[in-house]
Structure 1
Amino acid sequence: MKWDYGEEEEFTIPPHGLFITNEGNYQYGNATLSYYDPSTNTVENELFYRANGYRLGDVAQSMTIHDGKGWIVVDNSHVIFAVDTRTLKETGRIEDFTAARYIHFISDTKAYVTQLWDNRIFIIDPTTYSITGYITVPGMEADNGSTEQMVQYGKYIYCTCWSYQNSVIKIDTETDRVVDKLTVGIQPSSIAIDHNDKLWVLTDGGYDGSPYGYEAPTICRIDAETFGIEKRYTMRLGESPSELQLNGDRDKLLWINGGIWCMEINSDALPAAPLIEERSTIYYGLTVNPDNGEIYVADAIDYQQRGIIYRYSPAGSLIDQFYAGINPGAFCWN
């Protein structure tokens, strides 16, 4: 892509805050990185550009911190940037992805990167900033392939296969091979693992008119040992849930479905009402402070202007709000 260069700034990010990846507008190359300090209620925007003098690129999808570095996945620019988490200076980059989505570290020398429009998960070496191999998903076609979020239990990675897919795959990290596959429902997007080592998977059900199918969305509880579905919670056809999250104690689930919903992991049924009511807005991202249970919700407003982040108490009372970048979609706790 064409890089837009500017002047570099020198600054230091305070610890114990929240990174926000702002997607920007598709094909406009205006993705940005923000940082919020809850202790002072202050936000800094455009941090990557200010620190490095060039822009992130097109569609900042996610960010993960490992060993003092922040790894920013920029989907439509086919690149992952590594940055120092205090200065935000680039320390390296890995390019030539198809459309990277999420990164999960297996060790200091190996990580997996999921992809959209590809039937492979890329294997990288973070120490050399290089692609070292691929994991091909059996039965998945390359042109409509999709692997998405990952969690780890023991030596196994569990990964959702989202767009035009219906499964969770199980990968042996010692052999880098898919060893099992579980059908859960149309378009499983989010996955989390609770304090009982149960997997939770959210399916969005597709959309009306989709060539892949259309059904009611669900939340499934899966036993990580047996890799079988223990319980299924079914929503109404036409609902569009997203962004399944766990609180810090990993005993409560939260997700977006119009409003913000919250459910204890031992609940027999879905809640009757949301914790935070739907507003005349577009809830686009969600995270929970692992230390105190506060809830952060990203509002894309109209997908064109700078979004707003709402900060709520665990009980759902508004504490603070602030502007981030365009289409704030993902969070990363520092």
Structure 2
Amino acid sequence: MHKILILIMIPLLYSCIREINPVIIDIEETYLAGEGVFILNEGNFRSGNGSLSFFSYDSLKIFNHVFQDINNRPLGDVPYSMGIDAGMAYILFNNSDKIEVAERNDLKSVTTMKKIVSPRYISFTGGTKAYVTSLYSDSVTILDLLSNSVSGFINLKKSSEAIVALSTKAYVANWAGGNKIMVINTVTDQVTDSIEVGIEPESMVIDKSEMLWVLCNGGWKRENFAELIAINTGTNKIEKRFTFPSVTDSPTCLQINDTGETLYYLHNGVRRMDTGASNLPSGVFISEQNHVFYKLGVNPSNNQIFVTDALDYVQKGRVIR
């Protein structure tokens, strides 16, 4: 089953996948397994109305409330990200301080891991271990995936956001006001290095040459220029550095295609950039028009691009393919 994970900041997926006009299914019809895309709907802050939707490639239908339908209870308050490993889905809740563990194919709940401080992203480091970043804790949480329990912590002395694992290294971004990428040895669970980058590194990907690309949005105060940086993971040294032209530029959601050759990110629309390019793209690949692009995903099996439209951040949103 091939899936990508896209986030949206409103209670329920509402409208269409562009060009195919699928049927919107609520809880009256059973969720169907198969190839498709999971969409996390953050819901309204402190309302506990976050939900999970699934777009099926097989039936061209969107199934809303799939977790609630199957488990007879709401998903939780602000589901922020989701990871899939070894047949299990791990849903992280930024405001509920928990991780829901469910079977990937039918979404039946396995367990709820509680008291995990503001979890943001999960990275599977091989075997039965995973790392979870945190907005409000100064440590990365280590998970034992066999027992679905916390097995330890790695003190970064700062908050953490995006995380990617490569071989025996995990790269962790210090996002909120930070400018460091921390390097962790995944065998010893020790911090071995730190790399100074731009202000607020918020998303990262690995390309086909095992270069780590880091998108730094410059900070919410817009006092620093945003940057796109390429780091050699063999040396942990910066090899490329692209600075955005205006201090008001605030790019987000760095993604990469299945071959590791093409980068995508949100900046007044969707931008596309070859990893061998000498300059940032000057034009927009997909125009935002009257939409409010919020999150971006690229399907690793067919390179289809999905973008969420948050509309006014209050009413039900849309996902666009």
The answer to whether structure 1 residue 49 and structure 2 residue 68 are counterparts is: yes
* Equivalent residues of 1:207, 1:238 under 8 A apart: no
The answer to whether structure 1 residue 22 and structure 2 residue 60 are counterparts is: no
Distance 2:248 2:119 in 1: 28
For residues 97-126 of structure 1, give each alpha carbon's deviation from its aligned partner in whole angstroms, at most 9, with x where no partner exists. 110001111234211110011110001112
Matched residue, 2:285: 275
| Paired positions, count | 294
Give the letter aligned to residue 253 of structure 1.
L
1:82 CA drift (Å): 0.9
For residues 112-163 of structure 1, give each alpha carbon's deviation from its aligned partner in whole angstroms, at most 9, with x where no partner exists. 11001111000111221211110001xx3xxxx3211111222000111111
* Equivalent residues of 2:254, 2:265 under 8 A apart: yes
SS of the residue aligned with 2:253?
strand
* Equivalent residues of 2:124, 2:165 under 8 A apart: no
* Equivalent residues of 2:51, 2:67 under 8 A apart: yes
Distance 2:137 2:206 in 1: 25
Distance 1:153 1:90 in 2: 29
Give the letter aligned to residue 202 of structure 2.
S
Distance 2:209 2:174 in 1: 23
Distance 1:308 1:121 in 2: 33
Q: 1:87 to 1:231 in 2, by over 3 A?
A: same
Matched residue, 2:306: 296
Gaps of 5+ in 2: 1-26
* Equivalent residues of 1:9, 1:52 under 8 A apart: no
The answer to whether structure 1 residue 118 and structure 2 residue 102 are counterparts is: no
For residues 24-75 of structure 1, give each alpha carbon's deviation from its aligned partner in whole angstroms, at most 9, with x where no partner exists. 1111111100001134321101111111111111111111111111111111
* Equivalent residues of 1:248, 1:290 under 8 A apart: yes
Give the letter aligned to residue 226 of structure 1.
T
Distance 1:30 1:186 in 2: 32
Q: What are the equivalent positions in structure 2 for 1:190-205 lying under 5 Å apart? A: 190-205=203-218
SS of the residue aligned with 2:110?
strand
Distance 1:208 1:96 in 2: 31
SS of the residue aligned with 2:317?
strand
The answer to whether structure 1 residue 256 and structure 2 residue 266 are counterparts is: yes
Distance 1:59 1:77 in 2: 7
Matched residue, 1:101: 120
1:169 CA drift (Å): 0.7
Matched residue, 2:55: 36
- Normalising by structure 2, we get a TM-score of 0.88
1:207 CA drift (Å): 2.7
Distance 1:265 1:301 in 2: 31
For residues 275-307 of structure 1, give each alpha carbon's deviation from its aligned partner in whole angstroms, at most 9, with x where no partner exists. 011222211111111122111000111111111
1:12 CA drift (Å): 5.0
Q: 1:43 to 1:10 in 2, by over 3 A?
A: closer
Distance 2:162 2:221 in 1: 24
- Which of 171, 184, 202 is the matching residue for 1:158? 171
1:94 CA drift (Å): 0.9
The answer to whether structure 1 residue 177 and structure 2 residue 190 are counterparts is: yes
1:10 CA drift (Å): 8.9
* Equivalent residues of 1:81, 1:94 under 8 A apart: yes
Give the letter aligned to residue 279 of structure 2.
A
1:255 CA drift (Å): 0.3
SS of the residue aligned with 2:318?
strand
* Equivalent residues of 2:51, 2:75 under 8 A apart: yes
Matched residue, 1:62: 81
- Which of 233, 238, 248 is the matching residue for 1:229? 238
The answer to whether structure 1 residue 217 and structure 2 residue 230 are counterparts is: no
Give the letter aligned to residue 303 of structure 2.
G
1:233 CA drift (Å): 0.9
Q: 1:77 to 1:216 in 2, by over 3 A?
A: same
* Equivalent residues of 1:56, 1:74 under 8 A apart: no
Between 282-291 and 216-225, report the one with greater CA deviation: 282-291
- Which of 144, 147, 150 is the matching residue for 1:128? 147
Between 11-20 and 106-115, report the one with greater CA deviation: 11-20
Distance 2:284 2:238 in 1: 25
* Equivalent residues of 1:159, 1:191 under 8 A apart: no
Distance 1:71 1:77 in 2: 14
SS of the residue aligned with 2:95?
helix
